[in-house]
Amino acid sequence: GAGVSQSPSNKVTEKGKDVELRCDPISGHTALYWYRQSLGQGLEFLIYFQGNSAPDKSGLPSDRFSAERTGGSVSTLTIQRTQQEDSAVYLCASSLGESSYNEQFFGPGTRLTVL
């Protein structure tokens, strides 16, 4: 079956513009995660969804970041008024459930460059 897909694969934007990143999880996976990977850094947890609900949004770096998930499937991560420090690879992952034992399956990421 298809894996996790993300779009766009690359996004170049100007400082101050809004961007929207999309994630399509594996069908049937109820848990969905967003991470940010900055150059040379590890993965920074942003937000987690169980179904359409986001129990913990505390990883979002600022109020310019928001995310939603509809129909228990597709999720979008929106960054408003982008700043240069937002430049990073944004990774989405999904898993069968929220158990800590469950493997997360990662998408290829969206590389965001803010000029």
Partner 1 sequence: GDSVTQMEGPVTLSEEACLTINCTYTATGYPSLFWYVQYPGEGLQLLLKATKADDKGSNKGFEATYRKETTSFHLEKGSVQVSDSAVYFCALSVSGGFKTIFGAGTRLFVKA
| Contacting positions for partner 1 (CB under 8 A) | 3-4, 31, 33, 35, 40-43, 45, 48, 50, 55-56, 59, 91, 93, 98, 100-101, 103-109
Decide whether 72 or 108 has the Cβ nearer to partner 1.
108
What's the first-to-final CA gap in the chain, in angstroms? 37
Tell me the closest approach of the beta carbon of residue 19 to partner 1, in angstroms. Answer: 20
CA 24, chain centre distance (Å): 10
Tell me the closest approach of the beta carbon of residue 39 to partner 1, in angstroms. Answer: 11
Tell me the closest approach of the beta carbon of residue 10 to partner 1, in angstroms. Answer: 13
- How far is residue 54's CA from residue 39's CA, in Å, rounded to a whole number? 27
Tell me the closest approach of the beta carbon of residue 31 to partner 1, in angstroms. Answer: 7
Cα torsion 98, 23, 92, 110 to 10°: value is: 180
- How far is residue 102's CA from residue 115's CA, in Å, rounded to a whole number? 37
